[in-house]
Structure 1
Amino acid sequence: MALQMAAAAAPHNGDPHGSPIRRSDGVKRGSREMGALRDKMDGDLKLRGRSDSTRATYLRCARSFVAHYGKPPAEMGRDEVRDFLLHLIEERKLKPSSYNVYAASLKFLYSHTLERPEEVAWIGTMKVRHRLPAILSVQEVERLLEELGSLKMQAMVMTAYGAGLRISEVCHLCVEDIDSRRMVIHVRRGKGDRDRYTMLPRRLLETLRAYWKAECPPGPELFPGRKPGTVIQRDSVGRALKLAAQRAKVHKRVHPHALRYAFATHLLEAGTDLRTLQVLLGHASIRSTARYAQVSPAMIRRTKSPADRLRKTAPPQRRRSKARLPRAS
């Protein structure tokens, strides 16, 4: 994760959350200067309470910026930042949401780590168009679960859908977070570094017990990675879901967060109130929760229009025009 700014270059396809691709040869790998800068930026992010995921993403974006020019950021300024951001838009065709992450990373780097805020004070954010997602049906979720290749993936997908967790929250669950006595899941350090409790459905508990009995994870992590003490990478879940969608012939866009969309929408359709759903999802603002109400066709169908309360009226009669006498010539 180092901002060994020479090391790894830009994330794949411009995605700030992606894996790094080939490195730049313009800066020597392992440079003490770059290593110190990386450590300072990481420390500055920690001091401002940024999550592990945010820190990793900002550091990747900063690496990409340095790799693009092949020289330390201290030797660059406003012009290089501007040209790089234009490059992201015009050459790499980044979506506004991805562009905004790069912009935020560079603003942080120059404002806090390099203490040169005047170089980036002009940077704004691009307006993100919010499209309504296509919601998976219950039957489609069932087909996805049937086509997953391993019990571990099945347990993770069931956890994301059954408890409404973000995939990063699923990956970081520990065994002790599953409270089968009270039938709740303890989500630690969710988005915004907030803890919360969410539901533990009996069907999910059965799946987790079957997974535990079959694989018996050796450490505290419920879904460990390949190396001891690590957790599984969320990209693995995305790849497994994509393959399962192909096998199950689910033609909607399937990704880990689609399971959380489905959880929220299906609960709303079942009559769950927005405030309860807000707590389950861990939203700081109920406005974030209210977005899910926009994508529920069942809720729209159940809502009565005021037009249905109008009295039935007869169709208007076509008026006959009076015959006119011919004008005298």
Structure 2
Amino acid sequence: MGALKEKMILDMRLRGYSENTIDLYTDCLTRLAKEYMISPLKLKPNQVYDFFIKMKENKASAAYLRIFYSAIKLFYKIENKAYMTKAISLPKKVRKIPIIMNKSEVKAFLSECRSLQERTIFSLLYSSGIRGSELINLRIEDIDFERKTIYILKSKTRKQRYTILSDQAANLLKNYILTYQPKELLFFGFKNKNSHISMRCLQATFQRIAKRAGIKKKVQVHTFRHSFATHLMETGNNLVYIQKLLGHSFFSSTLIYLHTDSSTFLKTISPLESIDLKHFGSFGKKTQGSFDFSM
């Protein structure tokens, strides 16, 4: 797939796709080519269709299928063969309520960071709501200590924006810069200051710290972004402001955090609270004929 891959990479760059998405999409096409051991251009529509059926039978998630579909659809669009994917139908996207960390869990997590670099990185993620992919591409010049802002040049939506820089995160950053002396990239890899840390390394470090902190929820780096938005909402911040800080193109993406906001409908008092169970007395020994869950 050498020449085809290079053509697709060039076309995706011209369309403004991120390098992460380019890698992901070309990997999908490579897998399709290996499945049949021929060029994707020589495949027939029914073979592409059967490929998706096989992935479904192998219990591929809906999200995984959508990524493959987007990659293959784009490839055939570039090659003027859009008809190749018309027979494929995908399950509707189900918007899940995000898992968040409460403030006690955030505090426990940050207390388990064992280096200045770890504390700085994860404090910055939580305090600003930026994505992990945005953090690893931050440059020193993107930080404005005077205006207390962070400039996001490379975002998922390819739109530049500003977000907030908290005082505590700013103090950590100043100390970090003095200690680690980055050149251009703010957070660099272990071997080379000219290359950023990888998302895989960031996720692995996050999981180690979460385990030490005793966090049982299924959390990941992106959980800090969800927690940032939810905690802002719980303290009465305007939804439009939160949308701008997160860089959401659509307001509906921000509205999902209403379902996690414990300051609104989750504060509703249960009707059971109007009944005083203490007046019912205590339970004695089990009487004959009573229902027992242990049976």
Q: Answer yes or no: is 1:259 the counterpart of 2:224.
A: yes
3-state SS of the aligned residue for 1:294?
A: helix
Identify the match of residue 96 of structure 1 among 39, 62, 65. 62
Identify the match of residue 106 of structure 1 among 72, 76, 101. 72
Identify the match of residue 280 of structure 1 among 230, 240, 245. 245
Q: 1:301 to 1:72 in 2, by over 3 A?
A: closer
Shift of 1:302: 4.9
The one of the two structures with greater contact order (alpha-carbon pairs below 8 A, sep at least 6) is 2
Retained in 1: the 8 A contact 2:185–2:193?
Answer: no
The aligned counterpart of 2:15 is 48
3-state SS of the aligned residue for 1:198?
A: strand
CA RMSD of aligned residues (A): 1.9
TM-score normalised by the chain length of structure 2:
0.86
State, as a whole percentage, how many aligned pairs show the same letter. 30
**Residues 38-65 of structure 1: per-residue CA shift (max 9 Å, x gap):** 1111122123222222212111111111
Identify the match of residue 165 of structure 1 among 123, 130, 146. 130
Larger Rg: 1
Identify the match of residue 88 of structure 2 among 123, 134, 146. 123
Retained in 2: the 8 A contact 1:97–1:126?
Answer: no
Q: 1:285 to 1:123 in 2, by over 3 A?
A: same
3-state SS of the aligned residue for 2:93?
A: coil
Q: Distance in 2 between matches of 1:207 and 1:216?
A: 13
Alignment of 1:135-174 (within 5 A): 135-174=100-139
Gaps of 5+ in 1: 1-33, 308-329
Q: Distance in 1 between matches of 2:39 and 2:46?
A: 14
Q: Distance in 1 between matches of 2:170 and 2:28?
A: 39
Shift of 1:303: 6.7
Q: Answer yes or no: is 1:199 the counterpart of 2:199.
A: no
Shift of 1:304: 9.1
Retained in 2: the 8 A contact 1:178–1:186?
Answer: yes
3-state SS of the aligned residue for 2:259?
A: helix
Alignment of 1:306-317 (within 5 A): none
Q: Answer yes or no: is 1:291 the counterpart of 2:256.
A: yes
TM-score normalised by the chain length of structure 1:
0.78
The aligned counterpart of 1:300 is 265
Retained in 2: the 8 A contact 1:149–1:240?
Answer: no
The aligned counterpart of 1:245 is 210
Shift of 1:161: 0.5
Shift of 1:228: 4.6
Gaps of 5+ in 2: 272-295
Q: Answer yes or no: is 1:181 the counterpart of 2:141.
A: no
